[in-house]
Amino acid sequence: MTTDKARTAAIYRRPSKDFEDQASGGRPSALHLARAVPLQGGMPIVHEGHVIGGVGVSGASSADEDQELAVIGAGALGSGNGRANGARAHFFSSDDLARKFSEGGLLLEEQSFKLDAGRREAPGAPELHPSEVDVMRVVQGSATVVTGGAIRGDRIEGGEAQTVSEGDVLAIPSGVPHQFVEVSDPFLYFVVKVEE
């Protein structure tokens, strides 16, 4: 299981916990990704902005402790270049961003936050992140996002619809359901995910 968690984090360039959160938040498709283990405890190892491997932890006293140890391990392995506390600034050129936006995906992952170059071409399933705040800034296109309410199968009931377009910012607190119900093709946006 440890190896599977590490492989998931490395292949998909994100914590294996993301897939567990998606599955428990009403997005069962996260259970069917090729070679993905939707259990917390897998973290990608990031060095100079690139995923170079993964760390997996299983068998601690709880799933939360598996995750905590994986975060510590990935941070220690990914930051061994003499920086104070492993902290440094990250720069992404316009060419780097264009390449990343062509497919969408994680730009940066630190211990307490992530930066994602989001790309959508169609509406999505409802999402709910129990411990992450999402701050989105639209780069290109427009979308209608429903926030709040309750997740009922593949939709949100009782939420509030908000249309966002280029330059707009949408902040979604942890625990608030949200769903892209209409999107332009493509819809490009930055998402900063902050762990609470």
Q: Answer yes or no: do 49 and 29 share one domain.
A: yes
Q: Does residue 157 share a domain with residue 81?
A: no
Domain identity same for 113 and 175: yes
Residues 142 and 81 in one domain: no
- Same-domain status, 48 and 106: no
Q: Whole-structure pTM over 0.85, yes or no?
A: no
Question: Tens digit of pLDDT for each residue in 25-59?
Answer: 777 766 667 777 888 888 988 877 788 888 888 88
Mean pLDDT of the chain: 85
Dihedral angle sign, alpha carbons of residues 67, 69, 73, 76: positive
The answer to whether 145 and 101 have CB atoms below 8 angstroms apart is no
| Longest Cα separation, the chain | 51
Structural domain span for residue 17: 2-86
Band of residue 78 on the pLDDT scale cut at 50, 70, 90? low
Number of domains in the chain: 2
